[in-house]
Structure 1
Amino acid sequence: MNTILIIANLLVLFTFIIHTFGGDKNLKAIEPEQDSPKRLRIFWTMSRGAFHIVSIDFLFATIGLALINFTDYFQESKLLLNLLALYFLGYGIAFLLTLIISKKFSNIYFKMWQWLLMLVIAGLIYWGNS
């Protein structure tokens, strides 16, 4: 059993739970009113849908890591772990770039720390696979 990969697995599981339920609660708080312009409701709904596509990514990553950690389901687990590490690295870089190109507010990189979480998960998976 690889403790580093289990820690990564737990972080991804917690990320899935918090992202899915906490994130949706935050999204509901900014939902446009029923009488808001249709364009705003469409953009909000599209954003919410894209947000939950990422939730499913976290769910599948959790399941994949669990299968790698606790079963012999995959024959090429090293390759899959490398892909997952790159996947989370990509998420981290994309989120960080989004912050870089967005309008700034105080402590943006610490208040919006998800980029760092993704890089930590990527690092743990890479380290655990080494």
Structure 2
Amino acid sequence: MNTILIIANLLVLFTFIIHTFGGDQNLREIEPDAESPNRLRIFWTMGRGAFHIVSIDFLFATIGLALINFTDFFEEPALLLNLLALYFLGYGIAFLTSLSISSKFPNIYLKMWQWLLMFVIAGLIFWGNS
């Protein structure tokens, strides 16, 4: 058993749970009223849908890592781990880029720390695959 990959697996699982349920609760707090223009409701609904596409990404990454950690399901787990590490690195870069091009507020990079979480997960997977 690879402890580093198991830690990465648990971190992705917790990320999935918090993202899916906590994140959706936060999104519901900013849902436009029924009387709001359709345009705003459409944009909010598209954002919520995209948000939960990421939830499914976290779920599938959790399942993939669990299969690698606890079974011999994949013939080339090292290749898949490299892809997962790049995947989470890409998520981190995309989130950090979004913060850098968005309107700033105090401590934006600390309050919106998800970019760092993605880099940590990518690093753990890469390290565990070494």
Which TM class, normalised by the smaller chain length?
over 0.9
| Offset, 1:81 | 0.1
SS in 1 for 2:104: coil
State the match for 1:40 in structure 2. Answer: 40
Residues in 1 aligned to 2:26 and 2:98: alpha-carbon distance in whole angstroms: 19
State the match for 1:116 in structure 2. Answer: 116
Q: How many aligned positions are there?
A: 130
Give TM-score scaled by structure 2 length.
Answer: 1.00
Residues in 2 aligned to 1:62 and 1:106: alpha-carbon distance in whole angstroms: 33
SS in 1 for 2:72: coil
Structure 2: stretches of 5+ with no match in the other structure: none
SS in 2 for 1:59: helix
Percent of residue pairs bearing the same amino acid type: 85
| Offset, 1:91 | 0.1
Q: Residue type matched to 2:36 in 1?
A: S
Residues in 1 aligned to 2:95 and 2:5: alpha-carbon distance in whole angstroms: 23
1:31-110 to 2 correspondence within 5 Å?
31-110=31-110
State the match for 1:126 in structure 2. Answer: 126
Q: Per-residue CA shift, 1:65-110, capped at 9, x if unaligned?
A: 0000000000000000000000000000000000000000000000
Residues in 1 aligned to 2:33 and 2:107: alpha-carbon distance in whole angstroms: 30
The alignment yields a C-alpha RMSD, in angstroms, of 0.2
Moved over 2 A (4+): none
Structure 1: stretches of 5+ with no match in the other structure: none
Q: Residue type matched to 2:45 in 1?
A: T
